[in-house]
Amino acid sequence: MTIATLTWLIPLPPLLAFFLILLFTRRNNAISHIVGVGTAALSWLLGMIVFIAAIGAEHLGENPITSSVGWLALGDKIFSIGVLIDPLSAVTLFFVAWTVLMIFIYSIGYHNFGQPKGAHDVPGLPPEGAEEHGHRVPSVEPMYARFFAFIGLFAFGMYTLVVSDNLLTLFVGWEIMGLCSYLLIGFWYAKPSAKAAAIKAFMTTRVGDVFMLLGIVALYSATGTLSFREILYSHEVLETLANTPAGVWGLSAAGLIGLLLFIGTVGKSAQWPLHVWLPDAMEGPTPVSAMIHAATMVSAGVYMVLRMFPLLSAGWVEGGDLTTTMTVMAFIGAFTALFAATIALAQKDIKRVLAYSTISQLGYMIAALGIGAYVAAAFHLVTHAFFKALLFLGSGSVIHGMEHGVLHTGEHIDAQDMFNMGGLKSKMPITFWTFLIGGFALSGFPLITAGFWSKDEILADAFANGRWIVFGVLALAAVLTAFYTMRQITLTFLGTPRTKAAEHASESVRTMTLPLIVLAVFAIGAGWVGIPESFPGIGGVLPSWFHDFVGGTLLEHPPAAVFNATPLLVSFAVALGGLGLGWLAYRRSGQTDPLRQPLGPIYTLLERKYYFDELYDWLFVRPVKWFAEQFTYLFLDRQVIDGILHRIARAAFSLGRIFRTYFDAPVVNGFGDFTASVTQSFGRALRKIQTGQVQQYLLFVALLAFGGLFYYLLTILQ
């Protein structure tokens, strides 16, 4: 079997799991998770085989692993779909396979497999715990099997997106994930907040998706193909697109298509101004948050713009002026990075902090791509996927431990509020150390962690190309990132417990800690493949493999940034400074935030997320509701459409009455009645002879017979 054939097979096992679980094994939790994890492991294995084959291939960028089949005949052309493994999809496949598998395994423990059923648990609500030997213990999730079916479908969507060789199947995978994120965020559908969050996520990403679909259509009409190779590896196509005016705002065709596609990413990767859905998506189970926020969906947005980078940057030369699309991306990315980081400062919910940090880090990648730092963006995508999956799973483990404490003590507190935690370091050592690694990677702790190398590369790239604004904004965002990460670690793990529940928290089960350890290894090790060769001291000890490999995806391999001490020192300073400040500010924190007092109204502004939810409610939701109520329902539906219908009905009614009065009643009924009454009078006259006396009948017969005989004889005789 060739590698290309194996690539075709990668997405299929989780899809199979989806159908198997839903159709056959859904009543049995053990079989269902074996099917779910087993198929994920199979995809992982296929992915690793393909990945190893890909890194072993010479000049993979020029000669990628491809295979395609004709799929749809459009006029005289055949639209073909297929798979494509080039350096970018190979590294994406690598981190997707690992994180997805880890999340599947983690879900077993997170949903309390092996625990008793709760007496009051109902499908659609989180399990409330069960009574066992006089203790309250966690209870198994009522919809355990269904969860594995859904994340299976989700994994199918992501693998499809990664291996596809054209924009259309990429979009199919993209939309499957959109559906799954809706299903999974609303997994506990009986919770009103989860239901609302699911709808919000679906609607918000839909805004981006519509524009993306427009972009795909525009691209198809301009080039007649959606295949990545045919568009992105052809100088002619790119040049034509860059030089054709689109007729809107003086953009080129490439610019317009790029902008439209980028709006899809803004929705999917939760960039400002479509970021509002992602924090609310925390309503889903934590493995879902990790799926959506780390391994798959939000990464898909960045993956797509990385994939389309040659188109987005068509007409741009290294070191020259940025194209419109790139400028927009740099602006939105940098703004989002800073904006989300500030909100994260004032959040209490452990998962919401991570959600905003995800938005912020995705902003980093978008900004990096906007200034042309292609490899740095891809690098950060990979490292971020690992450490953010680690952080989310770690936070799920913390919440799990806290819930254990809550069940044990019977306190009524929010198990996700960091100000209810504290001192968990000794209670949950594995979770603490892995979370610390993840947190330090997120903050860019120098030299060891993966996050440092990828973030440093972005900053170095911005510095080397003289993008001062982007550099400054991203550096500032990095300080804030380190600060809120340390705040989170300090509040959660350090100090003394703030509640009884935190005192009684306990370490999670092995199925949850094992994925944490594996991901922690990657959160550190994933950075070592991308250490710049010019780095003083340790540069060149390990080959800077990532840059050469992923850089090969592009037609013209991007040069490595020249080493400069300034961005490196900035990286050191922001990471260590932010971490140190965070520790100083929060090491003695009680149940209120020590920053609330000095910041005053600014703190409230941050806590309420700059009132974006309220703004959108006022700006979009209410007008649309008003429009739906007043215009569509009351005017259009009730008056116009119903009015027409009523008039038709009334006309038909009076026509019917005319027919009834002048035709049916006199003619049809008259005829029927006449027939009946004639028959009746005959019957009445004739019944006289039915006397019931047999002899009389016989007499009639005899008389008639004689009469007939006489008549006959008479006629004969004449």
Sites of contact with other proteins (CB under 8 A): 687, 690-695, 698-699, 702
**Contact criterion met (CB below 8 Å) for 208 and 264:** yes
Of 73 and 685, which has the nearer Cβ to other proteins?
A: 685
Q: Which phi and psi angles does 349 have, rounded to 5°? A: -75, 125
Of 565 and 686, which has the nearer Cβ to other proteins?
A: 686
**DSSP label at 505?**
-
256 CB-near residues (< 8 Å, 6+ apart): 218, 246, 248
From CA 87, how far away is CA 165, in angstroms rounded?
13
Of 23 and 694, which has the nearer Cβ to other proteins?
A: 694
Of 597 and 690, which has the nearer Cβ to other proteins?
A: 690
**Contact criterion met (CB below 8 Å) for 7 and 50:** yes
Of 63 and 681, which has the nearer Cβ to other proteins?
A: 681
Q: At 177, which helix (H) or strand (E)?
A: helix 167-185
From the CB of residue 712, how many other CB atoms can be counted at a distance below 10 Å?
A: 10
Of 412 and 687, which has the nearer Cβ to other proteins?
A: 687
**Contact criterion met (CB below 8 Å) for 212 and 171:** yes
Of 621 and 699, which has the nearer Cβ to other proteins?
A: 699
Report helix, strand or coil for 135: strand
The single residue listed with the structure tokens 């007092």 is 597
**Contact criterion met (CB below 8 Å) for 229 and 165:** yes
Q: Which phi and psi angles does 70 have, rounded to 5°? A: -65, 140
Of 592 and 690, which has the nearer Cβ to other proteins?
A: 690
From CA 390, how far away is CA 509, in angstroms rounded?
16
The single residue listed with the structure tokens 């590896």 is 233
Of 649 and 685, which has the nearer Cβ to other proteins?
A: 685
From CA 717, how far away is CA 28, in angstroms rounded?
104
Least distance CB 687 / other proteins (angstroms) = 4
Least distance CB 688 / other proteins (angstroms) = 8
Of 78 and 702, which has the nearer Cβ to other proteins?
A: 702
Beta bridge partner(s), residue 66: 84
Least distance CB 685 / other proteins (angstroms) = 12
Q: How far is CA 557 from CA 117, 230, 373, 634, in A?
A: 57, 18, 12, 60
Report helix, strand or coil for 79: strand
**Contact criterion met (CB below 8 Å) for 465 and 380:** no
Q: Which phi and psi angles does 166 have, rounded to 5°? A: -145, 165
The single residue listed with the structure tokens 């496949």 is 93
Least distance CB 690 / other proteins (angstroms) = 5
**DSSP label at 100?**
H
From the CB of residue 270, how many other CB atoms can be counted at a distance below 10 Å?
A: 31
Least distance CB 683 / other proteins (angstroms) = 9
From CA 496, how far away is CA 587, in angstroms rounded?
10
Of 685 and 714, which has the nearer Cβ to other proteins?
A: 685
